[in-house]
Amino acid sequence: MAIFKGAGVAIVTPFTADDKVDYEALGKMIDFQIENGTDAIIICGTTGESSTLTHEEHDECIRFTVEYVAGRVPVIAGTGSNSTAEAIRLSTHAEKVGADALLLVTPYYNKATQKGLIEHYKKIANSVTIPIIMYNVPSRTGVNILPETAVTLAKEVDNIVGIKEASGNIGQVARLAALADGCIDIYSGNDDQIVPLLSLGGIGVISVLSNIAPKMTHDIVASYLDGDVETSRKLQLQAMDLNDVLFCEVNPIPVKAALNMMGMCTGNLRSPLCEMSEAHKEQLKSALERHQLI
């Protein structure tokens, strides 16, 4: 059984003026997502600035989210690391505090071989009992999970059940779907490719766009899965200008700026991320106005 079908939000981490995690704001954002149809909350992912959270903050963000969501939708904890031992520590903690599943990015910077990736994921999977979604994003990590590797892991490890595919390579996803023949759940990791991934047998998206447009993102997937491909296609195309501006600078710079414009008060970014340029802010504001989000 899939962890979720539909649109899961890769939720941002809001900060206070003195650069602490703003749990009150995070709670409000979680409510906003669930009230607008979001099917899962993904906490401490890339969009959540996990790379600059302290270990204590990372653990507490997961614990808080599990407790606050209180079973309304699945909570998926980002617990990946370039250290297998650290990923195991994060993963076992997430399971202990009640996360429904884990999202594990490939080890970054180390540039593991495919053999190394198999060993890495198996070691983490053997340390927990909850299901795991692998996260393939070679543009950030420098490592690509080949389709053969993903299928090997899904077939040999019971709790490796899904993959977030953000390679941007539709041909690779098609090969993955053909080799897997249903043994692994495929989620789009790119908001501009939701419908193409669904057409290849995907079951949802782990989304940045959902932070600001949760209902639209949910409806793109729900319409497709309900057989209304035309509505899904139209919504995907309507969202293209939002997707363009949300990635005009490195994620999550634009989406946090957008949420601040929308009155969500997500605070600043943590260095080395910085405030977006004024020119891009104007483009972002115009897109939000066109979609009546501000």
Of 5, 20, 68, 135, the active-site residue reads 135
Can you tell me whether residue 79 is helix, strand or coil? coil
Q: By C-alpha distance, which of 113, 123, 124 is closest to 148?
A: 113
135 labelled catalytic: yes
Of 23, 155, 164, 215, the active-site residue reads 164
Q: What is the spatial distance between Cα 224 and Cα 81, in angstroms, rounded to a whole number?
A: 33
Alpha helical stretches, state H, 143-213: 147-156, 170-180, 194-199
Count of Cβ atoms closer than 10 Å to residue 72 Cβ: 14
Q: What is the spatial distance between Cα 207 and Cα 205, in angstroms, rounded to a whole number?
A: 6
CA atoms within 13 A on the CB side of 196: 15
Amino acid (one-letter) located at 293 = L
Positions marked active-site: 135, 164
